[in-house]
Chain A
Amino acid sequence: MSAVAELEPPTTHVSKKSTSGTGREKKVTAETMASRQRDISVSEFFAKNRHLLGFDNPRKALLTTVKEAVDNSLDACEEASILPDITVVIEDLQPERGREVKQSRYRITVVDNGPGIVRKQVENIFGRLLYGSKFHRLKMSRGQQGIGISAAGMYGLITTGKPMMIQTRPDANKKAHHIELAMNTKTNRAEVTVDEETPDFPLQRLRGLTAGTREMSEKGEFLSPKAYPTGTSVTIELEGRYQKGRGSVDEFLELTAIANPHARITFVPPSRESAAEEEDVPLLKGGKRRAEGGTKEGEVAAGGEAAEAPAVVAPAAPVVTTETNGIILFPRAVEELPPETKEIMPHPRGIELGILLQMLKEAEQEEKGYTLYNFLQDKFSRVSANTAGEFCKSVGLTSRTKVGDVDHATAEKLYKEMQESKLPPPPTDCLAPIGVRQLLAGLLKGVRAEFYAASSREAAVYRGRPFLIEAAIAFGGELPTEDSSRVIRFANRVPLLFQQSACSSFKAVGETNWRNYDLQQPRGAAPVGPIVIMIHMASVWVPFTSESKEAVADYDEIRKEMKLALMECGRKLGAYMRKRLKMRREAERRDVFERYIGEISKAVNAINGTDTRKLFDALLAQAKKRTAIADLRLDEDGKKVKEEDPADQEGVIIVGVPNAGTAEPAGGRQAAEPASPSRKRAPGKPDPFAQSKAEAAMLRVAARAKADDDEPTLMDVKQARRAPSKPEKPRPARPAASKKPAAIPAAPPPAAAPIERKPKPKMRLDLRTGKPVPLDDAGGRLF
């Protein structure tokens, strides 16, 4: 820890920096000032301002480290068309510490089955801040800035003095690289301390870590070399605090699993939680199922049996999060990668003057004699030759004017023209929605409710940037009834865990009138009741309110789309709620009748000797028939309206039959009770029904997924509609470089893939495979 003290002054740094050296006693001249003015290394800046990157406190530091590593892994896998299989291991290195000690030293290891990283890029990727592939492009991806993982490594180095350890195997037939590197904050360069080749990938050591890992390893389900033919493993030691609840690693992984149903995530938490700072609320109550002695349900979904099935078909076994021997497994719920996203040029209406000037300058350097006419067409989306000509004309230039000849005043004029022009909105094929079915599969896996609905909006535009909103809700089941609803937010599939109330999505939830859908709602707040509301924003550039990427900025266009998506889900819920209420009423009514039928039968028997049993049966049969009829009559005020089954709605899953009133056979005649299928819910109890319910639901999903092939509108109209915009051809076999793990099915039949994945024209795997791209700025952002 002594190293830490040196590197890391304990108090706020910015103010200190500004005041130090400006002592009053000495007269400061321009020269003396000049002598102190020098470059600030970016890494040094962040070492001092680590809160900007989400390392404010030990607990968040732990989370941010896991989050950055997992985000990177998911991005890398998807870019390489590999179904992600990610293992997160957190080891507590001071398990003997006192009970009251709030933090401890942890070793975090995140292993993925991605494409791996070529040796020479390792230092750049992990050892430099602001180095990455995602920053300077308008493309939907999780990371945006290229600071995450290296900052995490730096944080670890600062707090423990231990370098970051990386194992990576880009070639399945060769040994893995083992590199340890420590970042030099002064030079923004990594210093490699160990560089060797090793056959030990994924790390053998981790498999024997706990009883749980040993058990799973024996079954070949934990870090098996077969599942990780290529990939990368990052190990960082840091001071942190592990505690469950809101804003925890557990929550992050649960939500990530929901938004990424195509990923299989295994989590080995540390042996114990840190001393609690406050009572933490568990995230999604009952979301996990504790599997006694390791049930197969989850593994089946991720494992070999699905290999023969086409990629789209959801596994027939229930896919739910399980906990076995302390190891949490978020199984893969869909065997289908998210559609590949395209990179787009900025839209003329989405840029600022400064950026236009910068672009003009760059264009000039790029090519001598570059004309404005060509520049406009090349560097912007939705600018046709015609439009480009009009732009040139409108500012008094011709189509042959060179970029270099555009002066500041003309550029300003051009900028104004651009803002006022009527152009089609930017292309939207750059967005990859999670998709209705995937949303449902994700929620079904992580949240134990009885009703699930999802909707995916068409793409819309804010500030010239395309975005797309998806919403999903889970209702009832084992969710807590009394509490306020839980809003879970995602941006480009990354869960947002903090600053909920500052987020546009939270406002959208509050502004939606949930009372229309039979939910309680305090004025302007989120609804109250057993409901989980999920909002996902996909965009080439998500407007976060701050650098820590915790809340989406409140643009009217975005909020409006969010509300529309929520309302779509709400309507589905409303239909279900009405149906549920109706069924409950019906059950109650039948219950009332059944209760008295026994008494009546006995009384009539005593009076005139009619056979009690016969009478009871006859009356019961009538009661059953009449309750259904009575409801039709009652609900539609005499008007018989065609009943809609809420389950027939698009994007809806209903688990189990809602049946509140439990009809007991009256008169104590169990034998005379031919059918009383209603059953009592026993929340909290591991009832056998839950299993069969989930099974039934999964079978339904599977059935629907199959039906999708013939009838694309049933579950996921959005994707089906998008498909024609891309060439109709089967998904190609994946590049040979990334050998598929056994779990991933072979190239699926064409009909089974509503989303086409184009073969990659070139591997743009900058982050992992390495093609250094010059740093530039985008969107007037700070970094």
Chain B
Amino acid sequence: MAKSKPAAGSVSRRIKERDTRTLRGIVELADDVAKKALGGKEPRVEIPLRTRSNTIWNRKRGILEMGSATAERELFNLNQAKQFMQTCLHARGIKELIEVEKSLSLRGMFYKGLHTVAGTSEKTFTDQDESDGILEDLEVSLGALREELHIFAKKKGTMIGNITIIDSGDEIDCRRMGSGGYAIPSIVEPDVIQFKKCEARFVLHVEKDTVWGRFNEDRFWQEHNCILTEGGGQPSRGVRRLLQRLNSELGLPIYCLLDCDPWGHYIFSVIKQGSISLAFESNRLAIPEAKFIGVRSKDYKACGFTDDVQIKLNDNDIKRAKEIAAYPWFEHHKGWQREIQGLLDNGFKMEVEAMINKGISFVTEEYVPARLKAKDWLE
């Protein structure tokens, strides 16, 4: 599926160029291996490091960027030999995909590269995680995005609201998506999705589909003229890219309603600054202007919740919270320091659903409107 149907000739030409560039990268990689091998040198692939240490916090732009450090993946290294082989296998697989102009899911790529190593009983990949990691390596070492490698992830996240888009040539009116909403595809680049018409004034992004369902049933987006999205926990690249485009291309502010726990804080951090493992894509994924409207640690008292909604912080949560507080982009942010300290002082977490304890539509009718009105959020 997902054979791209270019909307215009210019897009098609751009894809051609992009594919040619990707192909060149792959052939260069293979040429290098062959040259070194035949020349008696150890074949190695240079891969930019996707680690915390190689992630740079660009204070000025408010996003995480990838540093210049690279690691060499060596064939004659016990710990890397298999990965080296897997990298070659996937490079070959991608080349084939580009040549036949088709794309595959991450899982599809796992199966494409999967076979038994000749002469042994060992499989080329033990699980999909191994395969996914290699594909990310290839993305960064070829300097190509996932979609440029003709690979997509599974759909995750939903959208509904006052906007009409064109997805692969099909017009989609997001006002008429019933109770299910529009499923956000993994590739939302302008050659796949174009914005046609948008009345919405902002985007409300919630953590999970259960909360999203509540808001949709209450027609929150109609009443407040906005777009309602959810990312199923940690939002996928597709969701983040779509939010980023809504923000940068249509100038819509992004408000996030997430759980009051380290996980919620981290999701916000990723939406806002980008993630460590995808720092190389921060440019098109991070939304430095995103705002965190809740749930806040102060809400327990402010909204008068009962003890019943508390979920005790465990050791792991406390550790995580302290780590997040130490992130460079939170470290000097008084609001966030207070927020995280408040969470630790409370000693418990609160989910967005906790508000249902107070009233079925409390969150949609009172909590969020009040916050928006009062402009009470964290940046």
Q: Enumerate chain A interface residues (CB-CB to B < 8 A).
A: 589, 592-593, 595-600, 603-604, 606-608, 610, 614-615, 618-619, 621-623, 626, 630, 664-668
Residues of B within 8 A of A596 (CB): 75, 81-82, 84-85, 117
Cβ of B34 < 8 Å from any Cβ of A? yes
- Give the Cβ gap from A782 to chain B, nearest Cβ, in Å: 66
Whether B92 contacts A666 by the Cβ 8 Å rule is no
Residues in B73-131 with C-beta less than 8 Å from chain A: 75-76, 78, 81-82, 84-85, 88-89, 91-92, 95-96, 117-120, 122, 124
Residues in B204-256 with C-beta less than 8 Å from chain A: none
Residues in B34-54 with C-beta less than 8 Å from chain A: 34, 37-38, 40, 42-43
Q: A593-B76, A598-B118, A603-B89 are in contact. List 11 more A-B contacts (CB 8 A).
A: A592-B81, A595-B119, A599-B88, A600-B43, A600-B84, A607-B26, A614-B38, A664-B119, A665-B119, A666-B118, A666-B120
- Give the Cβ gap from A668 to chain B, nearest Cβ, in Å: 4
Instruction: Kindly supply a per-residue 1/0 record for chain B positions 286-309, scoring 1 wherever the CB is within 8 Å of any chain A CB and 0 otherwise.
Output: 000000000000000000000000
Whether A595 contacts B95 by the Cβ 8 Å rule is no
The residue from A603, A618, A626, A668 contacting B91, defined by CB atoms under 8 A apart: A603
Whether A618 contacts B78 by the Cβ 8 Å rule is no
Residues of A within 8 A of B124 (CB): 599
Residues of B within 8 A of A615 (CB): 34, 37-38
Q: How many residues of B contact A (CB 8 A)?
A: 31
Nearest A residue to B93 via CB reads A603
Residues of B within 8 A of A604 (CB): 30, 33-34, 88, 92
Q: A593-B75, A622-B42, A626-B76 are in contact. Are A608 and B34 (CB under 8 A)?
A: yes
- Give the Cβ gap from B321 to chain A, nearest Cβ, in Å: 41
Q: Which of A595, A599, A614, A623 has the most CB of B within 10 A?
A: A599
Complex Cα gap A621–B120 (Å) = 20
The residue from A599, A622, A626 contacting B85, defined by CB atoms under 8 A apart: A599
Whether A599 contacts B118 by the Cβ 8 Å rule is yes
Nearest B residue to A585 via CB reads B78
The residue from A593, A595, A608, A626 contacting B120, defined by CB atoms under 8 A apart: A595
Cβ of B72 < 8 Å from any Cβ of A? no
Residues of A within 8 A of B84 (CB): 596, 600
Residues of B within 8 A of A598 (CB): 117-119
Complex Cα gap A685–B211 (Å) = 69
Q: Enumerate chain B interface residues (CB-CB to A < 8 A).
A: 26-27, 29-31, 33-34, 37-38, 40, 42-43, 75-76, 78, 81-82, 84-85, 88-89, 91-92, 95-96, 117-120, 122, 124
Nearest B residue to A590 via CB reads B76
Considering the complex of A and B, which 4 residue pairs feature the smallest CB-CB distances, nearest first? A607-B30, A603-B88, A596-B85, A610-B34
What is the interface of chain A mostly: helix, strand, loop, or mixed?
helix
Complex Cα gap A542–B124 (Å) = 65
Whether A666 contacts B91 by the Cβ 8 Å rule is no
The residue from B89, B91, B119 contacting A667, defined by CB atoms under 8 A apart: B119
Residues of B within 8 A of A667 (CB): 118-119
Complex Cα gap A127–B75 (Å) = 81
Residues of A within 8 A of B91 (CB): 603, 607
Nearest A residue to B96 via CB reads A606
- Give the Cβ gap from B144 to chain A, nearest Cβ, in Å: 15
Residues of B within 8 A of A664 (CB): 119-120
Complex Cα gap A738–B96 (Å) = 89
Residues of B within 8 A of A608 (CB): 27, 30-31, 34
Nearest B residue to A620 via CB reads B37
Complex Cα gap A592–B91 (Å) = 21
Whether A595 contacts B122 by the Cβ 8 Å rule is yes
Whether A668 contacts B119 by the Cβ 8 Å rule is yes
- Give the Cβ gap from B40 to chain A, nearest Cβ, in Å: 7
Residues of A within 8 A of B30 (CB): 603-604, 607-608, 610
The residue from A599, A606, A618 contacting B37, defined by CB atoms under 8 A apart: A618
- Give the Cβ gap from B30 to chain A, nearest Cβ, in Å: 4
Residues of B within 8 A of A665 (CB): 119
Residues of B within 8 A of A618 (CB): 37-38, 40
Residues of B within 8 A of A603 (CB): 30, 85, 88-89, 91-92
- Give the Cβ gap from A295 to chain B, nearest Cβ, in Å: 37
22 A-B residue pairs with Cβ-Cβ distance under 8 Å, sorted by A, are A593-B76, A593-B81, A595-B117, A595-B122, A596-B75, A599-B85, A599-B89, A599-B117, A599-B124, A606-B96, A608-B34, A614-B38, A615-B37, A618-B38, A618-B40, A619-B75, A623-B76, A626-B76, A630-B76, A666-B117, A668-B118, A668-B119
Whether A589 contacts B119 by the Cβ 8 Å rule is no
Whether B78 contacts A589 by the Cβ 8 Å rule is yes
Residues of A within 8 A of B40 (CB): 618, 621-622
Residues of B within 8 A of A610 (CB): 30, 34, 38
Complex Cα gap A289–B91 (Å) = 56
Nearest A residue to B34 via CB reads A610
- Give the Cβ gap from A600 to chain B, nearest Cβ, in Å: 5
- Give the Cβ gap from B67 to chain A, nearest Cβ, in Å: 28
Whether B89 contacts A622 by the Cβ 8 Å rule is no
Q: A607-B95, A614-B38, A615-B38 are in contact. Are A600 and B118 (CB under 8 A)?
A: no
